[in-house]
Amino acid sequence: MYQFARKALFHLDPEKAHHLALKSIRYSDKLTLSQHIFDSLASPVTVMGLEFRNPVGLAAGLDKDAECIDGMAALGFGFIEVGTVTPRPQAGNPKPRLFRLPEHEALINRMGFNNKGVDHLVRQVKQASYTGVLGINVGKNFDTPVDKAVYDYLTCMRKVYPYAGYIVINISSPNTPGLRELQHGKYLNELLNALKSEQEILEAKHGKRVPLVFKVAPDLDDEEIKEMALQFLSAGIEGLITTNTCASREGVEGDKYAKEAGGLSGAPIFDQSTKIQEKFYQHLGDNIPLIGVGGINSGERALERLKKGAKLLQVYTGFIYDGPGLVQNIVEKIKGDAV
């Protein structure tokens, strides 16, 4: 069924197809058409002190404004991550800014954190009936200087804290100028210190501890990984997402969209993303749980990421190409491997 729907959607502009697909998922949830199909996808796992329905989650970026939480939940995801959201609404980069590379099962995007702002997202979260683990991914506005970025993250953190299962600090999108500078040195140290201090204050205020998770890029060298890992361990963050989209075009050379600016996602970045995950695991071990994302489009690839250190998984581009059946295939593969 999804292959038929995908054929129709892929005849549309990618961004228009994205919005139409979200509307369809919301509509099917109201009719309870999806829930019956995927109700059996229970394979509980506890990570960061949270119980996940199964280890396969929806990555940030698909539901930026948290307007489709219940619909996504009905498709069998073990957890859902919404955002990236910024303190103030912003339009993002000029269109076109999203490109399909079907021969490679890949996407290139330069969306630029387009979203309706953190206050809108909070209203949507409060209206949802979803009771599973909800991650909320936060970032800085495009016009906030890098040396002031910490204030944007603190603003978002304070507003989403009561409603989040965990909070993701996105410092790795390639589409916001200067953002990746926050992955290194004094900027990362300042961010870690400020957010962990605020976490203590918010825990006392709300009576619950919400894990802080950082999301890193796949375009890191060994020394950068080592230094970041040491800073993460020292600060005591609760989780790490490996990885965001990739600046490299390895694997899609020659495609008509290969020279478009933005982050590459999907099947071609699996090897690089897995390599970065492995290297972080070498430094972190099980002290900081890893959430593997990047090119996971099959049960076999999902198992490889789990066997190389990930405790949880996320999908996005694979979901675009393969539909909800991908979640089912991965969960069944994981269950089968455990027997």
Mean pLDDT confidence for 87-114 = 96
Average pLDDT over residues 123-140: 96
The dihedral region occupied by 167, where left means phi > 0, alpha psi between -120 and 50, and beta the remainder, is beta
User: For the residues 217-239, what does the mean pLDDT come to?
Assistant: 96
Q: Stretch 94-115: mean pLDDT, rounded?
A: 96
The stretch 272-298 carries a mean pLDDT of 97
Residue 216 in contact with residue 240, Cβ under 8 Å?
yes
173 is catalytic: yes
pLDDT band at 24 (very low <50, low <70, confident <90, very high): confident
- Percent pLDDT > 70 in the chain is 95
Q: Is 338 exposed, middle or buried (0-12, 13-18, 19+ CB in 10 A)?
A: exposed
Partners of 132 in beta bridges: none
Annotated catalytic residue, options 24, 28, 40, 173: 173
Residues 60-83 have a mean pLDDT of 94
The amino acid occupying position 81 is: E
Asked if the peptide bond before residue 96 counts as cis, ω within 30 degrees of 0, the response is: yes
User: Helix 270-284 crosses helix 299-307 at what angle (to 10 degrees)?
Assistant: 20
pTM: 0.94
pLDDT of residue 30: 60
- Write out the two tokens for 29: 């949830």
Half-sphere exposure of 165 (CA within 13 A, CB side): 20
- In this structure, what token pair is assigned to residue 170? 């996105």
Q: What pLDDT score does 70 carry?
A: 92
| 66 Rama class: left (phi>0) / alpha (psi -120 to 50) / beta | left
Give the number of other CB atoms < 10 A from CB of residue 165.
Answer: 19
In the predicted model, is pLDDT for residue 36 greater than 80?
Answer: no
Mean pLDDT of 291-306: 97
- Read off the pLDDT of each residue in 77-104 and give the average, rounded to a whole number: 96
pLDDT at 175: 84
Determine the pLDDT at residue 164: 98
β-partners of residue 56 are 313
β-bridge pairing 106-109 and 263-266: antiparallel
Where in 1-113 does DSSP place strands (E)? 45-47, 50-52, 56-58, 79-85, 98-101, 106-109
Mean pLDDT of all residues belonging to the chain: 93
The rounded distance, in Å, linking the Cα atoms of 64 and 12 is 20
Whether the pLDDT of residue 139 is over 70: the answer is: yes
CA–CA dist 328, 77 (Å, integer): 9
- Residue 29 pLDDT grade (very low, low, confident, very high; cuts 50, 70, 90): low
- The pLDDT of residue 336 is above 70: yes
Tell me: pLDDT of 132 over 90: yes
Q: What is the mean pLDDT of residues 245-249?
A: 94
Q: Which domains does the chain have, with CATH numbers?
A: 2-334 (3.20.20.70)
Q: Quickly list DSSP for 127-183.
A: H----SEEEEEE---TTS-GGGHHHHHHHHHHHHGGG-SEEEEE---TTSTTGGGGG
Q: What percent of the chain has pLDDT over 90?
A: 82
Radius of gyration over alpha carbons of the chain, in Å?
A: 18
Residues sharing a CB contact under 8 Å with residue 180, sequence separation 6 or more, in sequence order: 171, 172, 173, 174, 217
Q: Which of 33-37, 177-181, 329-333 has the weakest average pLDDT?
A: 33-37
pLDDT digits (tens, 9 = 90+) for 38-59: 556 788 999 999 999 999 999 9
pLDDT digits (tens, 9 = 90+) for 173-200: 988 888 899 988 899 999 999 999 999 9
